Every structure is written in structure tokens, then in C-alpha cells.
Structure 1
Amino acid sequence: MKTLHGLERPFGDTGLMVSPLGLGTVKLGRDQGVKYPSGFTIPDDREARQLLDLARELGINLIDTAPAYGRSEERLGPLLRGQRDAWVIVSKVGEEFEGGQSHFDFSPAHTRLSLERSLKRLETDIIDLVLVHSDGNDVAILRDSGVYETLAELKREGKVRAFGLSGKTVEGGLLALERGDCAMVTYNLNEQGERPVLDYAAEHSKGILIKKALASGHACLGAGVDPVRASFELLFGHPGVASAIIGTINPLHLSHNVATAAAVIRGSH
């Protein structure tokens, strides 16, 4: 069985080592207002536990959650009991999801409240990576809201190991890396506009997480080309990429993604 064991990579200069794929958990907590082509049922605790066990077995140590992912954080707390040290946990601040609607608050007070709530829900005293969940106004948020200053304080207090931005623009990504530790960017076969952020990260030892890694351009690929493999060849061909977040709840998809990523990374060494 192909796994990611032994393929961990440094996450910028944070001192964290992360698996090349991370498990996204929006589908553990929320089935409204999510942009997936097919419907799905939120897994029950038994299925969720099996998925997390499989991820660990496959060599995944990175787990991505957020307050905006419905009940994801509060479910992960009990599910990860006794195995906190096995995981690098990513959560977010800034976006709330209530009654089927997203709303945003980047104020210092809300940032602190949100982070304290995440610590409680996740049953931990430190969150490894905290990202600002941008609404798209990346630069204005980083410059004017006070959210980054608050995250820097929380880092000094030992509640956060590293912080950054999950943004939508090149300018935001670059500013996030200049003033923080990491960024989460969209990069896939269809969308490569944020590549300058990856380039900057590679040059300055900053951490990069990829979102929407498999928003694969199936249509643009020739017959016989595996879109997952082509996606990972693109991603892991860039020295700035630390890890790509895969948001599947299907054990077969997870195993296939891991085997493909492992083959691509081992092949490129």
C-alpha cells in the first residue's frame, strides 16, 4: 500500500513537519452552502472515526477545519481525543456560518473569541496553524482590521503556533507571507494566478497550503490522463508547496489520492 509515511516536509520555518496531503473536514460539519458537484451525507461518528484512522494509517498528519465548517470543530475534539500529538491542526478565524449563511468579522475582539472557542471545541491548548478566512478583501483585512496583530498576540501567548491567510488574491497572499508565517492559496490545473505567492514562499521559507487542489480541469486533459495525477504533478512540482488539502469523506478516494501523491513525489525525487 502506497502511503505518505516518510514524505513529511517542513512547513516554512515554523518547525512543523506536515504530510504532503491534509484532510479537509468541511464535510464532517456542514452540508449546506457547500460547492460540491454532488450531494453527500455528513458521516456519523463511526464513519468519521474510520476516516481519521485511515488518514493516519496513510501517513496524513494535517487536518483542516474552521468555525465556518458547521459542527466540524466540535466533532473533531472528541474524535481526536488521545491523539493530539499525532496531528497538525489548522483552523481559521473571521468567517462564521449560521442558519445557512456566512458572515465575516475580523475585529480583534471576535478574533480572540473565535480562537478561544476553537481551543475549547478542539479540546486543545494550542492550534498549530490559524488562518484568516478571507471574504476576498485580503489586503484591506490584513491592513485595517487588526486581525493579524491579534493573531501575533495569540502566538506570543502560546495559543497559536503559526498564522496566515486563506485568501483570494496575489497581493493578499504576498502581504500575508511578509507579515505572517503561511498562506493557503488556490492552485490547480484550471487556476494558477496565485503562483507568485508560491514563488515568494519558496524564496522566504514560508508555509503554503493548497486549497481546491483537485478542482481538476478534466475537460482540458487528453484521453487517458489521470486528472488527480496531473494535479499533483503540477502542485508538487513547485518547491513552495508544503501540503494540499483534500476534502473527501470517501475512503477509496482518500486512498487513491494518497497513492497517487506518493507516486508523484517519490517519482520526482
Structure 2
Amino acid sequence: MIVRDFGTTGLRVSALGFGAGHIGSPDLGEDEAGQLLNHALDLGITLIDTARGYGLSEERIGRHLKERRGEFVLSSKGGYSVENVPDWTPENIRLGIERALRTLQTDVIDIFHLHSCPLETLRQEELLGALDAARQRGEIRVAAYSGENDALAWAAQSPHFGSLQTSVNVVDQWSLRSVLPGAAARGLGIIAKRPVANAAWRFSERPTGQYEEAYWDRLQVGGLTPGDLDWDEFALRFSTFAPGVQSVIVGTAKLERLTHNAALVARGPLPDAEIQRVMEAFEPYVGQWPGEV
């Protein structure tokens, strides 16, 4: 497994991270969740990403990986959904982190993100101060922001943040072009989400009203094809080795898919000519397609 320095944070992460959203679904059995989490570590994956809003995810990570906590970098998100406390307040940050530590059965969360709040919220000094205080107390190691567009660009310039999480894929290049170069120069860690563009190519017809709809539209307009590769390999290798990206997070509920993803990443970056082809296909739409939120 490829391992990379995570900006200037002092952390090291695998190029392929595990997005633990699927782990939170009650449709996934407890034993299956435990097998999947442990298999990720057995493959050499050293970044596990979760969030307060991912159902049972934090609870299951704590239950099944507490004895292996030293083997991975733990990333979570919050700022909302603390009972009887307004969202996006200092008290919510403080209590949310305390609860996450208990639920995850850990003494520290390595990377804690404000989870896709808008710019006007992100800029609140009291909110940022609560993150700084959590870091000073040793409850989190790196304060981070997960989101897109103007809020992401602001976070990339703020001294309060040491890491960013943002969409990077073949049809979502706004962050890759507009934010990541400067963020990498400042030493921020970068986690890329949606690296396989929600597998929008699966649909023969427009998935109207579904999560994949915007990406499906972009694929049609851009006319992009995967060349001689399968779509999943083409997309995953593009995102994993995009400039500035230290780790991509991919979620799955299937052991075989997780193993397959690790094998794809091990094949390394796409040829330069293929990368250039992807960038050129997107070039006419840079100003029209913001980061997909």
C-alpha cells in the first residue's frame, strides 16, 4: 500500500483511505461491519474517515477497531446534531467532539472536520476558537474543513486549518484547479472524496433526482471515455494521483470491492497523456461547473 506524508501535519496516510459511510447503515450486519473494517487495516489502509452524520459508523469503528487504534489515522466530522444544542456553535463543537471520542473509544481524533458548513458559518471566530481549544486540549490533532467552492477556498487560506477534504474526480475538478495548488504549497493535508464520481457511468439513462445526476450530466457534456481501462480503474487512479492529494476515500460494503480498489491504486498513476486528456475534456467548463456539494 502506498503511504504518504499528510501535508505538514506529521501524520502519514495510505493513498487509499476507507470512507466509512456504508458502515453506518443498519442494513449492514454487525459482523459484516467488523470484517470490513478489519480487512481495510489488513490491506494496509491507514486512513479511516467517518462523520457524526453517518449513522452507526462512529460506534462501529470504536467497537471493532479499538484494539487496533494505533494502526490508522482517524478522521471524523461534526458541528451539528448534538441534542438540545444549536448547530454550528462553540458548545456544539465541544460537546460533539467529546461525544465522538466516547463513541469512537479513542483518546484523540487525528483529523476533525467542520462538515460542509457555508462560508458565513465557517468564518465565525467563536466557532474557529472552539476548534483551536479542542486541539490545545489534545482532543484533536488537526482541525480541518470538508466542503467545496468559496468556503473551501477560504479555509485553504485560514491559519485555523491544517487539512481539507473536497471532491476530486474526472468530472469534478474545481478544487483540483482552484484550491489544491495553493493548499499544497501551504502544507495542508488533502483528502479527496468522491474519487470515482459516484460511479455515474453505471446509468444508461439520466438518473434524475438521484445523487449521481450532476456527474452523469457532466460525463455526457464532456464526452469523456476511459480509453482502454474500466471506468472504475480510470477514475480512481486519476483522483488518487492528482497533484496535492495525499489520500482518497472510497466507501463500500463489500470485502471484494475493497480488495479490488487497493489493487487498482497499486497500479500507480495514469499515463501523462491520459491525465492531459481528462484535463482538456474539462477545460471548457471550468467556469461553469463548481465543486459538486
TM-score range (shorter-chain normalised) is: 0.7 to 0.9
Q: Say if 2:73 is the partner of 1:94.
A: no
Query: Within 5 Å, which residues of 2 pair with 1:163-174?
Result: 163-169=143-149, 171-174=150-153
Q: Say if 2:57 is the partner of 1:62.
A: no
Pick closer, same or farther for the CA change 1:71–1:173 going to 2, 3 Å: same
SS in 1 for 2:123: helix
CA drift of 1:154 comes to 0.5
Q: Say if 2:1 is the partner of 1:9.
A: no
1:209-260 CA deviation, whole Å, 9 max, x = no partner?
0111111453632564322222233223423101011011111111111100
Distance 1:75 1:217 in 2: 29
Identify which of 187, 206, 219 aligns with 1:205. 187
Distance 1:76 1:267 in 2: 36
Tell me which amino acid in the other structure corresponds to 1:112. R
1:225 is matched with 229
CA drift of 1:145 comes to 6.3
SS in 2 for 1:239: coil
Query: Within 5 Å, which residues of 2 pair with 1:1-269?
Result: 4=1, 7-30=2-25, 42-96=27-81, 105-135=87-117, 137=118, 139-144=119-124, 146-169=126-149, 171-179=150-158, 180-195=161-176, 196-215=178-197, 216=199, 218=201, 220-222=224-226, 224-265=228-269
Distance 2:170 2:63 in 1: 36
SS in 2 for 1:105: coil
Conserved in 2, the CA contact under 8 Å of 1:164 and 1:177? Answer: no
1:34 is matched with none
Conserved in 2, the CA contact under 8 Å of 1:94 and 1:105? Answer: yes
Instruction: Point out where structure 1 has 5 or more consecutive residues left out of the alignment.
Output: 32-41
Pick closer, same or farther for the CA change 1:222–1:182 going to 2, 3 Å: closer
Structure number with bigger Rg: 2
Pick closer, same or farther for the CA change 1:161–1:267 going to 2, 3 Å: farther
Matched pairs, number: 246
Output the TM-score relative to the length of structure 2. 0.78
Conserved in 1, the CA contact under 8 Å of 2:109 and 2:140? Answer: yes
Distance 2:82 2:55 in 1: 7
Distance 1:256 1:71 in 2: 25
Pick closer, same or farther for the CA change 1:28–1:232 going to 2, 3 Å: closer
Tell me which amino acid in the other structure corresponds to 1:9. R
Conserved in 1, the CA contact under 8 Å of 2:237 and 2:264? Answer: no
Give the % identical residues.
35
Pick closer, same or farther for the CA change 1:193–1:83 going to 2, 3 Å: same
Distance 1:124 1:267 in 2: 41
Conserved in 2, the CA contact under 8 Å of 1:236 and 1:265? Answer: yes
CA drift of 1:149 comes to 1.8
Distance 1:229 1:201 in 2: 26
Distance 2:235 2:132 in 1: 34
What is the root-mean-square deviation in Å for CA atoms of aligned residues? 2.3
Distance 1:43 1:50 in 2: 11
Conserved in 1, the CA contact under 8 Å of 2:226 and 2:234? Answer: no
